[in-house]
Chain A
Amino acid sequence: MIKINNLTKKFGSHVSLDNVTCEFSKNDSVALMGANGAGKTTLIRSILGYYHPDSGNVLVNGFCPIKERVKVLQDISFVPQLPPPIKLSIDELMSYVVVSSDVDKELILHYANEMKLNIKDNINKSFFKLSGGMKQKLLIAISLAKKSDIIIFDEPTANLDPDARDDFYRLVKLNSSEKTTLFVTHRLEEVKELVNRQIYMDLGKVVSDERV
Chain B
Amino acid sequence: MRANKSDFGIKNLYLIAYLDLKESIRAKWFLVYSLVFGGLIALFFIAGVTESQVMGFSGLSRLLLMYIQITIIILPIFILITTVRSISGDRDNNILEYMLSFPISLKQYYWGKIIGRFITVYLPVFFAMIIAVIFGAIKGADIPWSIFFLYTGLLFALSSAFLGIAFFISSFVKSSEVALGIAFFIWIFLLSFIDIALISLMMQGRFPSSLIISIAMMNPMEVFRVAAISLFDPELTVMGPVAFYILDAMNRALFIIFSIGYPLVLGLIFATFGFVIFKKKDLV
Contacts and interface: CB of A to CB of B under 8 A. Distances in A.
A70 B108 CA distance: 11
A88 B23 contact: yes
A86 B98 contact: yes
A92 B282 contact: no
A70 B101 contact: no
Contacts of A80: 94, 97-98, 101
Interface in A58-105: 69-74, 76, 78, 80, 82-88, 92, 95-97, 99-102
A50 B97 contact: yes
A187 interface: no
B2 interface: yes
B188 to A, nearest CB: 30
Interface residues of A, number: 31
Interface stretch (B11-19, B203-211, B269-277): B11-19
A71 B8 CA distance: 12
B158 to A, nearest CB: 27
A101 B103 contact: yes
Residue among A49, A85, A96, A100 having the largest count of chain B Cβ atoms under 10 Å = A100
A45 B282 CA distance: 10
Contact of A84 (B19, B27, B94): B94
Contacts of A82: 94
Given A80-B94, A84-B93, A96-B99, A102 B2 contact: yes
Contact of B98 (A72, A76, A84, A92): A84
A72 B11 CA distance: 19
A69 B105 contact: yes
B130 interface: no
Interface in B88-122: 93-95, 97-106
A51 interface: yes
B97 A100 contact: no
Contact of A100 (B93, B94, B102, B284): B102
B197 to A, nearest CB: 38
A101 B97 contact: no
A68 to B, nearest CB: 10
A73 B102 CA distance: 6
B100 A50 contact: yes
Contacts of B22: 88, 92
B19 A70 contact: no
A70 B3 CA distance: 13
B283 interface: yes
B101 A78 contact: yes
B23 A87 contact: yes
Contacts of B8: 70, 100
A102 B3 contact: yes
A70 B100 CA distance: 10
Contacts of B95: 84-86
Given A99-B12, A139-B98, A69 B93 contact: no
A95 B23 CA distance: 14
A154 to B, nearest CB: 9
B283 A100 contact: no
Nearest to A86: B95
Contact of B103 (A52, A85, A95, A100): A100
Given A84-B95, A85-B95, A96-B15, A48 B101 contact: yes
Contacts of B15: 95-96, 99-100
A70 B105 contact: yes
A70 B103 contact: yes
Given A85-B93, A102-B3, A50 B102 contact: no
Interface string A20-52: 000000000000000000000000010011111
B102 A96 contact: yes
Contacts of A139: 98
B284 to A, nearest CB: 5
Given A69-B105, A102-B3, A50 B99 contact: no
Contacts of B281: 52
A83 B11 CA distance: 26
A52 B278 CA distance: 12
Interface of B: 2-3, 5, 8, 11-12, 15, 19, 22-23, 26-27, 93-95, 97-106, 280-284
Given A84-B97, A92-B22, 13 more contacts: A48-B101, A52-B280, A69-B103, A80-B97, A84-B94, A85-B93, A85-B95, A87-B23, A87-B27, A88-B19, A100-B8, A100-B103, A102-B3
